[in-house]
Amino acid sequence: MRKTISKFACIVTMSILLSSCYTLSYQVGNGAQTGIEVKKKNHYLIGGLAALSTSDPVLMAGDAEDYNVKIEHSFIDGLINALTAGIYTPTTTTVTK
């Protein structure tokens, strides 16, 4: 019985430690031209089910017609998510003009 519990704990620990950071990226127009970055946090509750505040990449890009957008769960975002047991789940939006 003790071996089974140890194996289960090892599997759970490895699955948590080996999970990767989530990233979504896309390009608008010809993509970034100047390299200027604008970052903003998105705030969610209960694993992302309820949005408190989200960023708008179009507003972040301003008057730029060509830009790249990257939305990610960075290491810090994942750490905060783990410490709050999924109650608070932040993400970061980066717009590169």
Burial class (CB within 10 angstroms; exposed 0-12, middle 13-18, buried 19+) of 96: buried
Domain membership of residue 3 (yes or no) is no
Q: Does residue 96 register a pLDDT over 70?
A: yes
Domain membership of residue 10 (yes or no) is no
Please report the pLDDT score of residue 18 as a whole number.
Answer: 60
Domain of 51 in residue numbering reads as 21-96
Domain membership of residue 78 (yes or no) is yes
Paired with 95 in beta bridges are 38, 69
Q: What is the mean pLDDT of the chain?
A: 87
Q: Does residue 9 register a pLDDT over 70?
A: yes
pTM of the predicted model over 0.95: no
Domain membership of residue 15 (yes or no) is no
Based on the structure, what is the number of domains in the chain?
Answer: 1
User: Coil, strand or helix: which one is 88?
Assistant: strand
Domain membership of residue 12 (yes or no) is no
Domain membership of residue 70 (yes or no) is yes
* Mean pLDDT, residues 26-36: 89
* pLDDT, tens only, 41-88: 999 998 888 999 999 999 999 888 899 999 998 888 888 888 998 899
